[in-house]
Chains A and B, each alone.
Chain A
Amino acid sequence: MARLSIAGAAPASFEGGGSLLELFGDFFKQLYDTTGWNFVIFYDQVEWDRFIAAIWTTIKLIIACLIFSVIVGVVGAWAQGAKSKLLRYGMAGYIQFFRNTPPFVQILFFYFVLGNLTPSYDAGGYQEAYIGSFGWAVISLGFFAGAFNTEIFRSGIEAVPESTQEAASALGYTRLQSYIYVVFPLAFRVCLPALNNNLVNLLKTTTLAYGIAVPEMMYTANQVWSDNVNVPEMMIILFIFYVGLVAILVWGMHRWEKSMKIPGYG
């Protein structure tokens, strides 16, 4: 009965999920009954809904972290070469802090320490924070990967010959303009392979968000195998899922690398 009531209250995805489950649900149910391989997420409506929700949360988390970390990297690399001493030292401090502490510690620190210092409102017995666990995961992982991205972009910028920058300033570009129009586009091409690497790492690191209860794939898999005692099956699903995601990211980045290739450069 309890199960029925939740299925009724489930969001719109239920309809689509229902028909999909009808398609292969029986097969996986039979697989469990005959072989003991319990892929519960493919025949139980509640688990299926959890699984689908986890896929979306994971993809949203990854995209948000990737974008945020690249922005941090671009701005950070520019700030590293800034005239202001304060900005340069601030940047160096940031990089040291984030490179020298484990990302899991950072996530917990952001959520449990900074999370209590940021504004929240009383939502009836509990404090609803303006930045929830998802937000803190994006911020901490974005800053973490951003610190590496900053260094990666710096390596690219340093690979752009001094003479090119001089030529830009001779043409009347300001420092910022030459960074945006000349230095960065060249530097970006140089550091794309390294960036690619770091972003793949970031994608995999998003699993750490399970520590602050972001309902992404790792968290959900853990819940599912705790409820159904099917650890090996869910491990297999986890592996396939992340291998697939990384493959998509790498494929996209390679396409991007190719499309930006300048003949005779790099």
Chain B
Amino acid sequence: MKMKTKKTTIIAGVAAALAFGAVTTIADQAFAGNDRFKKVLARGELVVGVKADYKPWGFRDSSGKIVGMEVDMANDVAKALGVKLKLIPVQSSNRMQFLQQGKIDLMIATMSDKANRRKVVGVTDPNYYTSGTNVLAKKGAVKMWADLKDKPVCGKQGAFYNKQVTSRYGAKIVAFVGNAEAKQALRDGKCVAWVYDDSSIMADLASGQYKDYEMPMKTEDDTPWGLAVPLDEKDGIWGNFMSGITYNWHRTGRLIELEKKWGIQPTAYLATMNKKFEAYEPK
């Protein structure tokens, strides 16, 4: 009898220890998952990685301040959290590392939403924009994608479509560090076209600096854009918060309003999403 009690005690003890272990593990996970979010609140400052060379999404105005559509979105987030906003300019080639290494809390940097990127950073749904690949070229220089075969086409280092234009159409990609250099090379006639995002090319054409140029191709690979939080925060407060604010941006038409403000050609995607998320009006 005595023996049995002892055994039960041991089993109970082991079970308790296991249960405690499990509880602490869950607690630890929950803590880790909201780490960054809590830091933002404690700090009273939200650090957002945005582009500084991608007009009109994120660029420097004449006073050197970073402005643009994505900056406005970042502002909305900071306002909703009730914290100050700090902007860090990022590049296509380093933006995900900045987020991973904790240099930024949130990334809104014209990033196309790709499966392999979702493995690295926490892209939240719904997406906030879509865009596709097109080229900017001198009027009449090229008509179809096939015309790019074996010709030098300027691009930007870090853009995923560089590889696709090479593998699909045999274009010789000449990729530069920044957009400015790539577009300079196009103006110098060093390449037959500049391959980039149609939304950005539209903004260039609208700026009036490219009067002799056109966007001749049919846009390919319409891809959604994703903003991202650190991967392990995606299912915590931070990721859910960003999903919520994106939903509201769509529902209220805020993104369509910003699109108009920054002179971007209206995209079908935003109109569709606005319609889709239209709130039910109780009567």
Cα distance, A17 to B262, chains bound together (Å): 49
Give Cα A127 to B190, complex, Å. 5
- Asked if B36 is an interface residue, CB under 8 A from chain A, the answer is no
Residues of B within 8 A of A120 (CB): 189
A232 to chain B: closest residue by CB: B97
What 1/0 mask marks residues of chain B from 133 to 153 whose CB sits below 8 Å from any chain A CB?
A: 000011001100000000110
Q: Which residues of A contact B162 (CB under 8 A)?
A: 223, 226-227
Contact status B116-A229, CB under 8 Å: yes
CB of A164 to closest CB in B, whole Å: 50
Please tell me if A155 contacts chain B, counting CB pairs below 8 Å.
Answer: no
A212→B174 CA distance, assembly (Å): 8
Q: B192 at the A/B interface (Cβ < 8 Å)? A: yes
- Judged by a CB distance under 8 angstroms, whether A105 is at the interface is no
Contact indicator per residue, chain B 81-104, by CB within 8 Å of chain A (1) or not (0): 000000000001100110000000
Binary contact readout A206-218 vs B (1 if CB under 8 angstroms, 0 otherwise): 0000111100000
Contact partners of B141 in chain A: CB under 8 A:
125-126
**Does A3 sit at the interface, judged by CB under 8 A?**
yes
| Interface bits A104-132 vs B (CB < 8 Å: 1, else 0) | 00001000100110001001111101000
**Interface with A: B7-15, B17-25, B175-183, which one?**
B175-183
Assuming the A-B contacts A6-B166, A228-B116, are A211 and B92 also in contact, with contact meaning beta carbons closer than 8 angstroms in the complex? no
Inter-subunit contact B158/A226 (CB<8 Å): yes
Which B102-142 residues have C-beta < 8 A from chain A? 116-117, 119-120, 137-138, 141-142
Q: How many residues belonging to B are interface residues under a CB distance threshold of 8 Å?
A: 37
Q: In whole angstroms, how far apart are the Cα atoms of A129 and B116 in the complex?
A: 38
> How far, in Å, is B173 (CB) from chain A's closest CB?
8
Whether the Cβ atoms of A126 and B167 lie closer than 8 Å is no
Which of A123, A126, A129, A226 has a CB less than 8 Å from the CB of B157? A226
Is A115 within 8 A of B188, CB to CB? yes
How many residues from A make CB contacts under 8 Å with B? 31
Are the C-beta atoms of A229 and B117 separated by less than 8 Å?
yes
Check if A9 sits within 8 Å of B157, measured CB to CB: no
Contact A223 B119 (CB under 8 A): no
Q: Whole-angstrom distance between the alpha carbons of A160 and B137 in the complex?
A: 60
A5 is an interface residue with CB less than 8 A from chain B: yes
Q: Are B138 and A2 in contact (CB under 8 A)?
A: no
Q: Is B170 an interface residue (CB 8 A)?
A: yes
The distance in angstroms between the C-alpha atoms of A43 and B207, with both chains bound, is: 44
CB contacts (< 8 Å) of A3 on chain B: these are 167
Contact status of A211 and B177, CB under 8 A, knowing A112-B188, A223-B157: yes
Among B116, B157, B181, B184, contact of A222 (Cβ-Cβ < 8 Å): B157
B74 within 8 A of A: no
Does B163 lie within 8 Å of A127, measured CB to CB?
Answer: no
CA gap between A260 and B184 in the complex, in Å: 49
Question: Nearest chain A CB to B224's CB is how many angstroms away?
Answer: 17
Give the docked Cα–Cα distance between A127 and B186 (Å): 10
Does A133 count as interface, using CB distance less than 8 angstroms?
yes
CB distance from A38 to the nearest CB of B (A): 9
Complex contacts, B192 vs chain A, CB 8 Å: 124-126
**Contact (Cβ within 8 A) A229 B157:** no
At the interface, yes or no: B210 with Cβ under 8 Å from chain A? no
Partner of A124, one of B93, B97, B151, B160: B151
Asked if A192 is at the interface of the complex by the 8 Å CB criterion, the answer is no
Within 8 A of B (CB), among A220-253: 222-223, 225-229, 231
Residue ID in chain B nearest A126 by CB atoms: B192
A125 x B175 contact (CB < 8 A): no
Residue of A nearest to B100 (CB): A231
Beta-carbon contact of B188 and A116 below 8 Å: yes
Q: Which chain A residue lies CB-closest to B116?
A: A229
Interface centre among B92, B138, B185 (most CB of A within 10 A): B185
- Which chain A residues numbered 168 to 226 have a C-beta less than 8 Å away from chain B? 210-213, 219, 222-223, 225-226
Q: Is the CB of A2 within 8 A of B164?
A: yes
Whether, in the assembled complex, A64 has its beta carbon less than 8 Å from a beta carbon of chain B, the answer is no
Chain B residues with CB below 8 A from A229, complex form: 96, 116-117, 119-120
Sample of 27 A–B contacts (CB below 8 Å):
A6-B166, A9-B170, A108-B181, A112-B184, A115-B188, A115-B190, A123-B151, A125-B137, A125-B138, A125-B142, A126-B189, A126-B191, A126-B192, A127-B188, A127-B190, A133-B174, A211-B176, A212-B176, A213-B176, A213-B185, A219-B157, A223-B157, A223-B163, A226-B157, A227-B160, A229-B120, A231-B97
Closest 9 CB pairs of A and B: A127-B189, A125-B141, A226-B158, A125-B192, A126-B192, A213-B174, A2-B167, A6-B167, A227-B163
Where the two chains meet, the residues of B that have a C-beta atom closer than 8 Å to any C-beta of A are 92-93, 96-97, 116-117, 119-120, 137-138, 141-142, 151-152, 157-160, 162-164, 166-168, 170, 174-177, 181, 184-185, 188-192
User: Other CB < 8 Å A-B pairs besides A213-B175, A222-B158, 20 of them?
Assistant: A2-B164, A6-B166, A46-B163, A46-B167, A115-B188, A125-B137, A125-B141, A126-B189, A126-B192, A127-B188, A129-B190, A133-B174, A210-B157, A213-B174, A213-B185, A226-B159, A226-B160, A227-B160, A227-B162, A228-B116
